Amino acid sequence: MIEIKNLTYQYQNQTTLEFPDVLLEADQSCLVLGNSGVGKTTFLHLVGGLMRPKTGTIDIDGKDITKMSGRKLDLYRGQQIGIIFQKNHFVSALSVIDNMLLAQKLAGSHTDKNFCLRLLDQLNIKQYGQKLCSSLSEGEKQRVSIARSLVNKPALVLADEPTSALDDENCTAVIQLLKQQTEEIDASLIIVTHDNRLKEFVDKRIVLEKITHA
């Protein structure tokens, strides 16, 4: 279960953003919608443990990540939080499969090449396993990003604008893959987006508004 309460973030100019509370059961998904500038990516980075909130709790399966720091937080994030960034961060000199194995190693997990290959197969990109990530199309890279986010069987998957650059057909394919794959491992899914096409695929929605205090 994912529970986010009383979350705020303060920028260096002292402006403070306030975010709504979120409660998600395992395998539930949620859209976080809002116009540019309301703090969608900031919210994702806070929930992913990449930024520190001013106040609030982010409870993932009984553990509040706001109380973690340093190596402990890094390990927990690697093991329990899968993140699909707007821009893919692959090691360009490594193959697809080696990027996935690296994600397992960095999380301190046992490397499982068979599981990595199974994920790639489910996403219809197993044939690219030995290719360099830099040689793939944007659509193929997007699927590799999904596979990598799932490689440690996390409790929570976060996706930042995963469909914004896709046409309708590929948008539908990506959101269906995301939901299917996260449900298979009982992971909660939070999608941060301004893409209103996704409303028909995800029932739970939160709309961010720019609630700030100087």
Written as tens digits, the pLDDT of the chain (214 aa) is 899 999 999 887 778 889 999 999 888 899 998 887 788 889 999 999 999 999 999 999 889 999 998 889 999 999 999 999 888 889 988 999 999 999 999 888 889 999 999 989 888 889 999 999 888 888 888 889 889 999 999 999 999 988 877 788 878 888 888 888 888 888 999 999 888 888 888 878 988 876 666 5
Q: Which residues pair with 57 in a beta bridge?
A: 5
pLDDT at 166: 76
Is residue 174 assigned to a domain?
A: yes
- Residue 171's contacts (CB-CB under 8 Å, 6 or more residues apart) are 163, 195, 197, 198
Is residue 11 assigned to a domain?
A: yes
pLDDT at 103: 93
Is residue 54 assigned to a domain?
A: yes
pLDDT at 213: 62
pTM score, whole prediction: 0.89
The strand ranges marked E within the chain are 2-10, 16-18, 22-24, 29-33, 55-60, 63-64, 81-84, 156-160, 188-193, 204-207, 212-213
Helix (H, G, I), strand (E, B) or coil at 128: helix
- Give the DSSP letter string of 1-58: -EEEEEEEEE-TTS-EEE---EEE-TT-EEEEE--TTSSHHHHHHHHTTSS--SEEEE
Is residue 45 assigned to a domain?
A: yes
Q: How many domains would you assign to the chain?
A: 1
pLDDT at 212: 60
Is residue 38 assigned to a domain?
A: yes
Range of the domain at 187: 2-90+154-213
Is residue 52 assigned to a domain?
A: yes
pLDDT at 211: 60
Q: Which residue has the tokens 């100019």?
A: 13
pLDDT at 210: 66
The span from the CA of 48 to the CA of 155, in Å, is 12
Is residue 95 assigned to a domain?
A: no
pLDDT at 16: 86
Is residue 111 assigned to a domain?
A: no
* CATH number of the domain where residue 43 is located: 3.40.50.300
